[in-house]
Structure 1
Amino acid sequence: MTVYQQDSADLRLEWGLDGVHALAGCAVLVVVDVLVFTTTVDIALGRGGRVLPLPWRDERAVEAARVAGATLTHSGLAGIDRQAGLRAAPGHGWTLRPSSLVELPAGTFLAISSPNGATLSAAAAKTGATVLAGCLRNASAVAAAAAEIAGDGPIGIVPAGERWRDTPDKRLRPGIEELLGAGALAAAVPGRRTPSAEARLAALTYRAAADRVPHYVAESVSGRELIEAGVAGDVRLASAVDASDVVPLLTDGVFAAR
């Protein structure tokens, strides 16, 4: 154990891919990517679909989707798909954007590659923990499920964060929408006696901002980026706190409703 693992806490929180590795000893890991991957997963599963998360910029993504029988989506934002080298299958408008999936036919199996939530979900699957996808929409439902699954074991919440796009290494950019999503989950997890300082502070932040969550998400850098890109509907969907009771559970590498 090291201090980075927050080993004295039964509810832990750490950011990004390094956070997945640091919290790998948890019984349950909840990946949070409010804008937009875990919101997209919530919408897709709420429509009766399933989602295969794939690492970003992995040349094996297209082949992995084909082998699994999943339809590979693209990001839905100009330029991003070219960077990743991804191409969606023709004949549909399904993308990484949650607003594109509000009429998804039941039974649809999507493969989604994203630099944050999907990449972290694929990494979390390798830790041996039970992996859930949490967001503002399903915070209470996922928090309750995490507590039930973990029992006396620790729960780790991993806000994905965003990326600085103008840096060569695309470093992690913590986003307030992720802090709010992670805080909503931390505030809702029942029966935790020794949350870490990181988890406690996230919960306090969420409680202080709860009446203004849609405003703060829309005014965040990530929210303004999507609004200016013409996908304000994604921001509205992502800000609807507890609008969903879907619990996305990763089983054999695929998210399906628990």
Structure 2
Amino acid sequence: MDATPFDQQTYQVRLEWGIDGLARVAPADIVIVVDVLRFATTVTDAVEAGHAVALDAGAHAVSIDGAAIAVAAAESGAVVLLGCLRNAAAVAAAVYAEQERRGQRTSVAIIACGELVGAGPGAPLRFAIEDQLGVGAIVDALTEMGIDHTAPEAAVACESFRGLRQALRHLLTASGSGRELAAMGRAHEVARAAALDASRAVPVLRDGAFRAWG
């Protein structure tokens, strides 16, 4: 891929949005897919319970964009993780462990899913605050571990999380995505998704399914 002003390749920790963002950002050793409501949170819960989650039609139904991003990232040869608010610190620890295993600086592309408005090719992507906060929580945890050479895009997400971390539950439940899920009878899922670092489970994509890291 030819270098562009938007590929963030000079930074270790990068942030982009959606499947187009994955194509735009420079290839990375690790890709973290963030879809807080509700793909990443749902899969994290399943992995924590000891289940593998296949990237089949069911996964695509939960998150068309999230599943597609994970598949495309795996095809690039990257290690693919799922991140959310519930496992932000655990994801950062997994990144640090992978860097230690490699014995060299490891690049990280965080891809926030946002929400597709409509269906089919070319559907516009809606900015989702829950994913911005989820990315920020992961970047904050990476920074605490010394992985802090972040692109401006990732730094802005980190600072938004730091400034608003005491209001995560309110922000998620009051957001458009949260209100939509509440109207579907899933308000409890929104509250669960807002629980910062409640899980140590890290889903990693291996052989077409998400399994527990380690």
The SS at the match of 2:6 is helix
Matched, 1:52 2:54: yes
Structure 1 residues 113-138: Cα deviation after superposition (integer angstroms, max 9, x where no partner): x3121121111111111000000000
Aligned with residue 188 of structure 1, among 141, 165, 188: 141
Aligned with residue 42 of structure 1, among 33, 39, 44: 44
Sort the Cα spacing of 1:249 and 1:171 in 2 relative to 1 into closer, same or farther, 3 A. Answer: same
Task: Report the CA distance between 1:24 and its aligned residue.
Answer: 5.0
The SS at the match of 1:26 is coil
Is the CA contact 1:147–1:155 (under 8 Å) kept in the aligned structure 2? Answer: no
How large is the RMSD of aligned CA atoms in angstroms?
1.9
Is the CA contact 2:90–2:200 (under 8 Å) kept in the aligned structure 1? Answer: yes
Matched, 1:211 2:166: yes
Matched, 1:19 2:27: no
Is the CA contact 1:32–1:135 (under 8 Å) kept in the aligned structure 2? Answer: yes
The SS at the match of 1:3 is coil
Q: Structure 1 CA distance, aligned partners of 2:161 and 2:114? A: 16
Matched, 1:161 2:114: yes
5+ residue gaps, structure 1: 55-60, 62-71, 76-95, 97-113
Task: Report the CA distance between 1:236 and its aligned residue.
Answer: 1.2
Equivalent in the alignment of 1:65: none
Q: Structure 1 CA distance, aligned partners of 2:20 and 2:11? A: 18
Task: Report the CA distance between 1:232 and its aligned residue.
Answer: 0.7
Equivalent residues, number: 205
Equivalent in the alignment of 1:176: 129
Task: Report the CA distance between 1:204 and its aligned residue.
Answer: 0.2
Q: Structure 2 CA distance, aligned partners of 1:209 and 1:16? A: 23
Equivalent in the alignment of 2:83: 134
The SS at the match of 2:106 is coil
For residue 179 of structure 1, what is the amino acid of its counterpart? Q
Q: Structure 2 CA distance, aligned partners of 1:135 and 1:204? A: 16
More helix by share: 2
Aligned with residue 149 of structure 1, among 98, 101, 119: 98
Is the CA contact 2:8–2:26 (under 8 Å) kept in the aligned structure 1? Answer: no
Matched, 1:240 2:180: no
Q: Structure 2 CA distance, aligned partners of 1:257 and 1:135? A: 15
Q: Structure 2 CA distance, aligned partners of 1:221 and 1:131? A: 28
Q: Which moved more, 1:227-236 or 1:208-217?
A: 227-236
Q: Which moved more, 1:133-142 or 1:14-23?
A: 14-23
5+ residue gaps, structure 2: none
Matched, 1:30 2:32: yes
- Identity percentage of aligned residues: 41
Sort the Cα spacing of 1:231 and 1:191 in 2 relative to 1 into closer, same or farther, 3 A. Answer: same
TM-score, normalized by length of structure 1?
A: 0.75
Q: Structure 1 CA distance, aligned partners of 2:169 and 2:107? A: 30
Structure 1 residues 141-170: Cα deviation after superposition (integer angstroms, max 9, x where no partner): 001111321440211111100012399942
Is the CA contact 2:117–2:123 (under 8 Å) kept in the aligned structure 1? Answer: yes
Matched, 1:124 2:79: no
Is the CA contact 2:34–2:135 (under 8 Å) kept in the aligned structure 1? Answer: yes
Sort the Cα spacing of 1:166 and 1:12 in 2 relative to 1 into closer, same or farther, 3 A. Answer: closer
Sort the Cα spacing of 1:29 and 1:219 in 2 relative to 1 into closer, same or farther, 3 A. Answer: same
Q: Structure 2 CA distance, aligned partners of 1:169 and 1:195? A: 30
Q: Structure 2 CA distance, aligned partners of 1:154 and 1:168? A: 29
